[in-house]
Structure 1
Amino acid sequence: MRWSRPGYALALALLVIGPLLAPGYLLLRDAVSTPRSYLSDSALGLISAPRATPQDFAVAVASRCIDGGIVVKALLVAGLWLAGWGAARLVATVVPESGVGGQLVATTLAVWNPYVGERLLQGHWSLLLGYGCLPWVATTMLTLRSAESGSWSGFFGLAFWIALAGLTPTGLLLAATVAVVCVAVPGDGVSRRMCAIAASGIAVAAALPWLTSAMLGLSSVDHIWAHVPDVAAFAARAEPGLGTLGSLASLGGIWNGDAVLGSRATLFAVMSASVLLTAVFLGAFPLSRYRAAWPLLALAGVSVVLTAAMATGPGLAVLHAAVHAAPGLGVLRDGQKWVALAMPGYALAGAGAVLMLRRWLRPAAAAAVCCVALILSLPDLAWGAAGKVEPVRYPADWATVAAAINRDPAEVAVLPADTMRRFAWSGPAPVLDPLPRWLRADVLSTGDLTIAGTTVLGEGNHARAVQRLLLTGAEPQAVRDAGVGWVVVELGTPGEMGMAATTLDRLPVASRGRDLALYRVGGATAGATAGKRRAAVIAHLTWLTMLAGGAVGMAVAVRRQRGVHSGERPR
């Protein structure tokens, strides 16, 4: 019985990502995995906005020993598994009277909801890992505040879970918010003041990779903070029959209408939302007796209302002004991702629904009804969002070109001119170019995105200038003087080529295949200075040390606790 909750959570996670268990790589919209990644300036966040730090660093380190595709898929499974298991642990801490049934309902709600489906289809695997850490952060903080369970060893757990969520900046902000909110719960354990200081300090330390890279980027040659990120294009979106508020309250409403489960793209969304919200509202009433649940329930409500407000005209105006004043706040523009903050509170409410239904049903029956209803209300989340999330295999040209460039790393320009790609072998959905994560060299990318016919400019000014040279058929020497060492043409994908053939015809061909053509330009660029790289690496190692130290500290604490319970003398 002890392993029933993590076992059930793992079963749900595997049911969601089932197709990815087959050999191949996750390549879908923003999700990119390759056999190997490297610690380039891009991976350290030094030549572009550090949105993927320390994610790229972690994958680069791990892929030295394990295939990068396996690393990414394993972390995705871990995120969903942790979400479900963590929700059960949170319920066991706050609402123990709901029993195993309440824990299983919380697990189902945490794993089986539109947020998971939409972020999976958008390719946000690292955000889902951060999402999975939220109930663990809440449980750890509640334990620290508890008079019975409060222990200084709990700070190791807090450091681990916040650092793990911090694989992406958004995940860190989500985890830090949950930790700070949970400080408000009553208890005679570690003081509120000490818990708040610890949570804030841990969050700042875990944020060092992207804070350091962001500060160093202010003085970069590419001026990566010169553009104000567009906010309206990424506002939360209303799903059929629900409106924006209803979509967000039911954990849906992602900005990209193509990254939505089929069942949420029709009026069936009303039924789906009704089931989830009925469970939440039913469970909220019994939870009024549990003061430890109040902060998380309040956070759930506030996160939904504020996110909906951010999608209104005034909300967008305020957000645009904030981002204009501090472009680094562009991390806030994808409003729907912040409703992840509702998950811990919703999980508790799911357990509360079991308490409510016990008035009419046996506990096992009440739990079964809730679990089955939640799953059937979102049937196409199963098996990779009804087959939309599948592994891909790279054509042989990719390994050939990567090997050639990695033997002589130099700045790489890529054609056609587009950030997103559509390869015949990767499926119908657009994907980020995999090349930047497969090379030792830095790959120039403008970061421009076309959304509903409107181009949202990225931060790659230098990349945009090089792209202009190629599209206008400039002399090879001009491209060489711009620091470009290689040009890769990705064949068979849409995008603008302009007069690039005029330039390419005068460059030596290093490799040509059915999918890729590689041209040697011979330019060289200094890249980031040694001092900047050293500072970025130290910041990333600080995060890694916190992650590893937190894991070791938790393991030692658990071992000691078990030894005490079994009658052994602590050593």
Structure 2
Amino acid sequence: MPAYALALTLAVTAPLLGPGHLLLRDAVSTPRSYLTDAALGLSQAAPRALPQDFFVALASTVVDGGVVVKALLILGLFLAGWGAARLVAVVLPDAGTAGQCVAVTVAIWNPYVAERLLQGHWSLLVGYGCLPWVAASVLSLRVSARGGVAALVFWPALAGLTPTGLLLAVVVAVAAALAPGTGRPRWWCATVSLAASLTAALPWLVASVLGTGWADQDAGLRAGIDAFAARAEPGLSTLFSLASLGGIWNSEAVPASRTTLFAVASAVVLLGIVAVGVPRLIRGRTAVPLLVLAALAVVGPALMATGPGLAALEALSRAVPGLGVLRDGQKWVALAMPAYALAGAAAVVTLRPRLPALATATVCCAALIATLPDLVWGVGGRVAPVRYPPGWAAAAAVVNAEPAPVAVLPVDSMRRFSWGPDAPVLDPLPRWLRAEVLSTGDLTVAGHTVLGEGAHARDVQRMLTAGAGRDELAAAGVGWVVTEGPVPALPLPVAYRDDDIAVYAVGGDSAGSPHRPVMIAAHAVWLGQLGLGIGLCLAGLVIGRLRSRHAHRRDEDEQRPQTGHQ
């Protein structure tokens, strides 16, 4: 079954196997990144990219950062498929290989994966890939007490590469802990899962306390909530778009087949397969908490996209600033995937008295793929690596030789480059420099600007656009000014310039955050948990193999004929 999951994964991500760096909307990879204050969550931006930036910064000291990001993305999708098969083996073993194939296809080949790929949410897809493993680990303990804490330590930590991934994982773990069973008690499974999730969350929990990322959130709060609400796709209501695992807020981050009435066919096939399997899961009872969670994961974001739902989310976010993470409602539909995968496998069991299991699985898998045909080859070639112009490396080397705060023009956080993808991308510069890059975090959606948290960066950008001189910029703590693309020359000393990028020396500086040691320690706890989980899993495999050999030898000894004197 891992082979089938890998085949589907490579069918989707094959373009990423080529040279270059992933650069598409929110996905940014660079040859090297550094442990700046921003990478540690100590900038003015909210800590949304922790601990992924920390991990990539460490890994890129050994391997090109582009390779790291592409490998993690491919790993995430592979884990989603393989984990779905493992979940079926735990909950519905009579589904067999045929049922597992359907579950793998449901987990990998769906609109959620396509839309998050196009949005550039590679680390979210890593967390998505962990969800069936989390469910399988907890249910194994609930049903038969087989397994141990290793999996409950490891999977939340891996899902915790991004805060949303960790939140998804802990919700699935708690839901699975509520399943009926005679194994470990519900409270034990839930407590261990929550404890592991709490330590995995330390990077962004500590950053939220020490940083200033929430200070200016109110300015663009309602605009952001409206902009990121789930969206109905052609022929479907918002509810049915979400139920079919689509409905992302960005209409440009959607595969072509979901921009026409063909989206109805995709929804009918997926929901039809799920509907056939649900009664079997209900009778089995074990998966009922996951089914309830799936229903809530669809209905909740649909309600959040209504007028009253938007108002309630705004009030909640103002009362508890960290809950702004809820505003992208469609991403929470990932919580439905484990139940959908199980239902796909259960459909094979339900139809087996009438149809051969192999035939049912073949038809289901083929229908799921045929109704989302453009997921193949990087969503129709739209998810593919790009090559940076040589000047970018040269400009980064100039700044990295004498790190100091960097102001950037143009002022928008999103860019369009002639050498890049046919889509806006986040500015790659902040992840390529060992210096802090002043970024506003402002985002323009459908002609409306959603303000970010970078108030100081916004002030500096106003100074730049107003023609401020070197002394004034230096007094504001600016060390360098970088212009990207065809921006007119500035009246500042030129340190590097070509047709793609220019670097101007200003000479200002500012002190780094005094909280760096604390944040490094918080990240070290997360990294240690990840390593501990891997170590415990490997130790479990070795011990299990040794016990199996010992039992096999004992059986052979017992079966060997006894000889002796009579």
What TM-score range do you get, normalising by the shorter chain? over 0.9
Give 2:128's aligned amino acid: Y
What is the aligned partner in structure 2 of residue 283 from structure 1? 277
Q: For 1:351-362, what aligned pairs fall within 5 Å after superposition?
A: 351-362=345-356
Give 2:100's aligned amino acid: Q
What is the aligned partner in structure 1 of residue 87 from structure 2? 90
Partner residue of 2:184 out of 187, 190, 197: 190
Q: CA deviation at 1:196?
A: 1.4
Residues of 2 paired with 1:463 and 1:138: CA distance?
Answer: 43
Give 2:154's aligned amino acid: F
Matched, 1:538 2:521: yes
Residue 323 of structure 1 aligns to a residue whose secondary structure is helix
Matched, 1:554 2:548: no
What is the aligned partner in structure 1 of residue 5 from structure 2? 9
What is the aligned partner in structure 2 of residue 209 from structure 1? 203
Is 2:220–2:450's contact at 8 Å kept on the other side of the alignment?
no
Partner residue of 1:119 out of 105, 116, 120: 116
What is the aligned partner in structure 2 of residue 243 from structure 1? 237
Give 1:543's aligned amino acid: W
What is the aligned partner in structure 2 of residue 30 from structure 1? 26
Matched, 1:528 2:522: no
Residues of 1 paired with 2:506 and 2:143: CA distance?
Answer: 64
Residues 88-129 of structure 1 deviation map (CA, whole Å, 9 limit, x = unaligned): 000010001111000000000000000000000000000000
Residues of 2 paired with 1:569 and 1:59: CA distance?
Answer: 44
Residue 285 of structure 1 aligns to a residue whose secondary structure is helix
Is 1:117–1:261's contact at 8 Å kept on the other side of the alignment?
yes
Identity of aligned residues (%): 61
Residues of 2 paired with 1:444 and 1:232: CA distance?
Answer: 26
Q: CA deviation at 1:65?
A: 0.5
Partner residue of 2:143 out of 124, 143, 146: 146
Residues 431-474 of structure 1 deviation map (CA, whole Å, 9 limit, x = unaligned): 00000000100101000000010000000001001001101111
Unaligned runs of 5+ in 1: none
Residues of 1 paired with 2:331 and 2:217: CA distance?
Answer: 22
Residue 137 of structure 1 aligns to a residue whose secondary structure is helix
Q: For 1:26-105, what aligned pairs fall within 5 Å after superposition?
A: 26-47=22-43, 48-105=45-102
Residue 240 of structure 1 aligns to a residue whose secondary structure is coil
Residues 482-524 of structure 1 deviation map (CA, whole Å, 9 limit, x = unaligned): 10000000013xxxx7xx85xx21x210001110010000001
What is the aligned partner in structure 1 of residue 157 from structure 2? 163
Is 1:217–1:224's contact at 8 Å kept on the other side of the alignment?
no
Residues of 2 paired with 1:121 and 1:546: CA distance?
Answer: 31
Residues of 2 paired with 1:116 and 1:293: CA distance?
Answer: 23
Q: CA deviation at 1:217?
A: 1.3
Give 1:237's aligned amino acid: R
Residues of 2 paired with 1:224 and 1:213: CA distance?
Answer: 16
Partner residue of 1:19 out of 12, 15, 20: 15
Matched, 1:343 2:341: no
Q: CA deviation at 1:525?
A: 0.4
Matched, 1:304 2:289: no
Unaligned runs of 5+ in 2: 554-566
Q: CA deviation at 1:224?
A: 5.2
Is 1:225–1:328's contact at 8 Å kept on the other side of the alignment?
no
What is the aligned partner in structure 1 of residue 267 from structure 2? 273
Residues of 1 paired with 2:240 and 2:101: CA distance?
Answer: 25
Is 1:98–1:354's contact at 8 Å kept on the other side of the alignment?
yes
Is 2:477–2:508's contact at 8 Å kept on the other side of the alignment?
yes
Residues of 1 paired with 2:83 and 2:172: CA distance?
Answer: 13
Residue 287 of structure 2 aligns to a residue whose secondary structure is helix
What is the aligned partner in structure 1 of residue 563 from structure 2? none
Give 1:87's aligned amino acid: A
Residues 55-80 of structure 1 deviation map (CA, whole Å, 9 limit, x = unaligned): 00000011110110000000000000
- Output the TM-score relative to the length of structure 2: 0.95
- Output the TM-score relative to the length of structure 1: 0.94
Give 2:40's aligned amino acid: L
What is the aligned partner in structure 1 of residue 455 from structure 2? 461
Q: Measured at CA, do residues 341 and 159 of structure 1 come closer, stay the same or move farther in structure 2, by a change above 3 Å?
A: same
What is the aligned partner in structure 2 of residue 413 from structure 1? 407
Q: CA deviation at 1:568?
A: 6.2
Is 1:228–1:327's contact at 8 Å kept on the other side of the alignment?
no
Q: CA deviation at 1:288?
A: 2.0
Residue 489 of structure 1 aligns to a residue whose secondary structure is strand
Q: CA deviation at 1:313?
A: 0.6
Is 1:226–1:459's contact at 8 Å kept on the other side of the alignment?
no
Q: CA deviation at 1:228?
A: 5.2
Matched, 1:518 2:515: no
Q: For 1:324-473, what aligned pairs fall within 5 Å after superposition?
A: 324-473=318-467
Is 1:487–1:520's contact at 8 Å kept on the other side of the alignment?
yes
Is 1:227–1:327's contact at 8 Å kept on the other side of the alignment?
no
Residues of 1 paired with 2:429 and 2:350: CA distance?
Answer: 53
Moved more, 227-236 or 391-400: 227-236
Residues 157-208 of structure 1 deviation map (CA, whole Å, 9 limit, x = unaligned): 1110000000000000000000011111122222211211111111111111
What is the aligned partner in structure 2 of residue 233 from structure 1? 227
Matched, 1:565 2:561: no
Is 2:217–2:452's contact at 8 Å kept on the other side of the alignment?
no
Is 1:162–1:202's contact at 8 Å kept on the other side of the alignment?
yes
Residue 286 of structure 2 aligns to a residue whose secondary structure is helix
Give 1:75's aligned amino acid: L
Residues of 2 paired with 1:203 and 1:43: CA distance?
Answer: 21
Q: Measured at CA, do residues 338 and 283 of structure 1 come closer, stay the same or move farther in structure 2, by a change above 3 Å?
A: same
Is 1:563–1:569's contact at 8 Å kept on the other side of the alignment?
no
Runs of 4+ in 1 over 6 A off after TM superposition: none
Residue 424 of structure 1 aligns to a residue whose secondary structure is coil
Residue 566 of structure 1 aligns to a residue whose secondary structure is helix
Matched residues, number: 550
Moved more, 374-383 or 358-367: 358-367
Residues of 2 paired with 1:421 and 1:165: CA distance?
Answer: 29
Residue 518 of structure 1 aligns to a residue whose secondary structure is strand
